[in-house]
Amino acid sequence: AAGVIQSPRHLIKEKRETATLKCYPIPRHDTVYWYQQGPGQDPQFLISFYEKMQSDKGSIPDRFSAQQFSDYHSELNMSSLELGDSALYFCASSLKLGGEKLFFGSGTQLSVL
Amino acid sequence: GNSVTQMEGPVTLSEEAFLTINCTYTATGYPSLFWYVQYPGEGLQLLLKATKADDKGSNKGFEATYRKETTSFHLEKGSVQVSDSAVYFCALSLQTGANNLFFGTGTRLTVIP
């Protein structure tokens, strides 16, 4: 069965650069969530989208932005990268009306040098 | 506020030992409760869930009971295996239509032969 696909799997950037992370949800899933997991920490909710509209916002820095496209894939854009942005970024998808089950991707490991 | 407090790790057990990982929560409403598991190098996978008081979630030999009176959702397994070695996250979501999760800090379990 198709799962949530994230790309790239690994990304290395330098301070003040920009990065774009992509997430392709499970087919027919209309809701996408982004989480940030720092080294040895629990995942922190960043932002979510339902039907291409932002549905909820968590601890996402102003330097980050995200959107969901007409094919339901989502991109997380990160600018002016800082060392503290180094983390594993998870995307998850769900059916808005299908209960609370989230399916997670394997994550993008971002390293800021 | 909404938060999850999890037993700190790491936890090291011998194969076939009994496992308990404690989890307590605070929530402003009536949350659904989850246990997620993260195997090395992989994304988060839903292990089990419970959506109302006294519900018992179970999967792969793991169980957890939603205890409203003690605001707890402890994870248990009667006989762990080496393949259970992973990080376990307790999480809650509020049934407000926004499916974002609040995670605990995770407990690393290592099972030795």
Stated as kind and residue range, the H or E segment containing A36 is strand A31-37
> Which of A41, A56, A92 is the closest to B98 by Cβ?
A56
Residue with tokens 């989890």: B23
Q: B82: helix, coil or strand?
A: helix
Report d(CA B97, CA B76) in Å as an integer: 29
Q: Taken in order A69, A70, A72, A73, is the CA torsion positive or negative?
A: negative
Residue B100 to chain A, least CA–CA distance (Å): 7
Tell me the range of A31-40, A70-79, B42-51 where mean pLDDT is highest: A70-79
**Mean pLDDT for chain B overall:** 90
> Which of B43, B99, B103 is the closest to A106 by Cβ?
B43
Per-residue pLDDT of A56-111, as tens digits, reads 888 899 999 999 999 999 999 999 999 999 999 999 998 875 456 788 888 999 99
Q: CA of A56: which chain B residue's CA is closest? A: B98
Q: Tell me the chain A residues in contact with residue B98 when contact means C-beta distances shorter than 8 Å.
A: 48, 55-56
> Which of B41, B99, B105 is the closest to A100 by Cβ?
B99
Residue B17 to chain A, least CA–CA distance (Å): 25
| B106 conformational bin, left if phi > 0, alpha if psi -120 to 50, beta if neither | left
What percentage of residues in chain B have a pLDDT greater than 70?
Answer: 96
